[in-house]
């Protein structure tokens, strides 16, 4: 308690000549101020504090919603290129490490895995809508460096190869086409 009192303002009396009564009264008032401040902070609601536009404040350790939307928008606009961790972090003015940690807490995926997943979704859309595109062209338009890299990630995420995916769409078999496959990303990296 003495340390708290010193932090709250009793330190100035320790360097001056003082009487016991004056010191005791100063320490008591400093402790009382500290307790009052702690009570008022404890009474504030921890969740549900509304921020700008009535959105709930983000949970501790997660990327705020408006920043998450800004990053996702940036990723989608630059999907065909190679958005780097530094570029994504720069969009929301955070360090790469801090951004990666907050992004994963908000989305459940590391930034790179999020980009790969969005690329696979784009590839699935291309395969559904344009049956005449070759797999190499689909890979290129989805942002993959080559067809091999594309096929590896497609099978890991979708559960089937891109060719098999296209065949099932053309045959009307939608059993695995519409059902997303849950994959533990940690076991693949």
Give the chain's radius of gyration (CA, Å). 28
Q: Say if CB 9 and CB 26 are below 8 A apart.
A: yes
pTM of the model: 0.61
Calculate mean pLDDT across residues 19-26: 59
Q: What is the pLDDT of residues 46-103, one digit of tens each?
A: 333 333 333 344 455 788 999 999 999 999 999 888 899 999 999 999 999 999 999 9
Q: What is the pLDDT of residues 135-151, one digit of tens each?
A: 999 999 999 999 999 99
Q: Say if CB 64 and CB 98 are below 8 A apart.
A: no
Q: Which residue has the higher pLDDT, 158 or 57?
A: 158
Measure the CA–CA gap between 101 and 88, rounded to whole angstroms: 13
Q: What is the pLDDT of residues 96-126, one digit of tens each?
A: 999 999 999 999 999 999 999 999 999 999 9
């Amino acid at each position: 308690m003495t340390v708290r009192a010193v932090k709250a303002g009793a330190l100035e009396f320790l360097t001056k000549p003082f009487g016991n009564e004056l010191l005791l009264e100063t320490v008591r008032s400093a402790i009382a101020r500290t307790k009052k401040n702690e009570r008022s902070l404890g009474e504030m609601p921890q969740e549900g504090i509304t921020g700008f536009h009535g959105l709930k404040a983000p949970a501790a350790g997660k990327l705020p919603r408006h920043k998450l939307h800004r990053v996702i928008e940036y990723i989608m606009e630059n999907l065909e290129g190679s958005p780097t961790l530094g570029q994504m972090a720069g969009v929301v003015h955070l360090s790469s490490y801090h951004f990666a940690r907050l992004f994963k807490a908000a989305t459940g995926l590391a930034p790179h895995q999020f980009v790969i997943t969005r690329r696979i979704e784009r590839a699935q859309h291309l395969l559904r809508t344009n049956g005449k595109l070759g797999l190499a062209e689909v890979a290129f338009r989805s942002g993959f460096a080559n067809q091999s890299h594309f096929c590896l990630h497609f099978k890991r995420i979708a559960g089937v190869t891109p060719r098999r995916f296209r065949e099932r769409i053309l045959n009307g078999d939608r059993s695995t086409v519409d059902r997303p496959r849950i994959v533990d990303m940690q076991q693949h990296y």
